[in-house]
Amino acid sequence: MKTGLLSIAGSSLALWLGGWMTLFTAPALAQTGTHSGVMIGAFVSGDRDNFIALEKQLGRVLAIDFTYKQWAWSDGLSRQVWDIQQGRTPLIAWSAKLNGKGTCVTAADIAAGKYDAQLKMQAKAMKSLGSKVLIDFIPEMTDRKIGMDCFYGAAWSADDAGIARAGAAYAAAQRHVVGIFRASGATNAEWVFAPDGQPFKNRGGGTPEWTRFYPGSAWVDWIGVDHHIGPGRRKAFPDHLLSKFYRETESYGKPLMLAQTAADPDPSVQPDAQTLWLSGAEATIPKQFPAIHAVIYNDHGKRNQHMLSGAGLAAFKAMANDPYFAAR
């Protein structure tokens, strides 16, 4: 990837982008400062056209485009270039998967330097973007339901010893990767630590489970949580889990993020789960959760689960156009 990567767009593309940005201008910043107000983003299944279609429905350019990348990505970051050109911040969920067949890298091999040559090339590509990119390194690293056994090299249990071993392995791998990026000059990368919601459930006393995985404040720029409202459930925002996440992370002095959140639409219930969750987020975050500075809706199309529609889409549109949620 060459240093002039962001200049690859031709004049015709520039004209097209200019027209798009004129039609759908992002709202003004909610407040001033590096982290003020809330950045709104989404993951949308499919290609760029699907993402643009959502933005047209919302009437604005979103602040964050959430995409997934497997471990050995080498595609030149074309999606991220496109995002930056349109005024968005890319958010990459960087998984440990090597391919679509379920194989993965291990935390131990990453920390031991096995992939350093690859990481240095990826860091160079990231640096060449010349603009901020958020990286969620191994999203939901605390989840025992999504194949993390592969990343940790073996099945890991929920007892204290198992959690401690997995947490130490993740933290070592994350620090190693961040160290290589920083040494390579890719300081435009901001690192998101985003466990799933399970460690924030009420498990009694003792050390909070998620802290076993936390690599240290020097290695983290954002603290997030992935929290989806399960099928058939309706919850008012915030629920117990999200409130506990906020209480336990606010004192760390990092901007907080709902790195992935979603709820199912159901027109047979009023208000449905999607509408209840999103309208509650708009009303509650500014008053009770001022440290939350980004919200990403996971609008994936798997069996139409979680996809924004009807009243839920209207609620997301209202939030996206609320001045408090206009940060970029």
* Per-residue model confidence as pLDDT tens digits over 93-136: 999 998 766 789 999 999 999 999 999 999 999 999 999 999 99
Q: What is the mean pLDDT of residues 252-280?
A: 94
pLDDT at 63 over 70: yes
Distance CA 91, CA 190 (A): 9
Q: What number of residues does the chain have?
A: 328
pLDDT at 203: 63
Q: Where are the domains of the chain?
A: 29-325
How much of the chain exceeds pLDDT 70, in percent?
84
Residue 280's nearest CA partner among 232, 230, 328, 243 is 243
CA nearest neighbour of 30 among 326, 328, 290: 326
pLDDT for position 4: 41
Q: What pLDDT was estimated at residue 32?
A: 32
Question: What integer pLDDT is reported at residue 206 of this predicted model?
Answer: 73
Q: Which of 64-78, 222-236, 290-304 has the lowest mean pLDDT?
A: 290-304
Superfamily of domain 29-325: Glycosidases (3.20.20.80)
Segment 15-53, tens digit of pLDDT: 334 444 433 443 333 333 466 899 999 999 889 999 999
What whole-number distance in Å separates Cα of residue 236 and Cα of residue 315?
14
- Using one digit for the tens of pLDDT, what is the confidence trace for 140-196? 999 876 678 889 987 777 778 888 999 999 999 999 999 999 999 999 999 999 999
Residue 328 CB contacts under 8 Å (≥ 6 apart), including other chains:
26, 29, 39, 63, 87, 89
Phi, then psi, of 286 in degrees rounded to 5: -60, -30
By the 10 Å C-beta count (0-12 exposed, 13-18 middle, 19+ buried), 277 is classed as buried
Determine the pLDDT at residue 34.
60
Q: Record the tokens describing residue 7, joined without a space.
A: 């200049």
What letter would DSSP give residue 25?
A: P
How wide is the angle at C-alpha 115 spanned by C-alphas 112 and 121, nearest 5°? 140
The residue with greater pLDDT, 299 or 8, is 299
Does residue 297 contact residue 308 with C-beta atoms inside 8 Å? yes
DSSP assigned state of 104: B
What lies within 8 Å, CB to CB, of 37 at 6+ separation is 29, 30, 31, 293, 323, 324, 325, 326, 327
Calculate the average pLDDT of the chain.
87
Q: What is the mean predicted confidence (pLDDT) over 244-258? A: 96
Whole-number CA gyration radius for the chain: 19
Alpha helices by DSSP H, the chain:
11-23, 48-58, 78-85, 107-111, 116-129, 148-152, 160-183, 240-249, 273-288, 310-320
**pTM score over 0.85:** yes
Q: What is the pLDDT of residue 88?
A: 98
- pLDDT for residue 80 is more than 60: yes
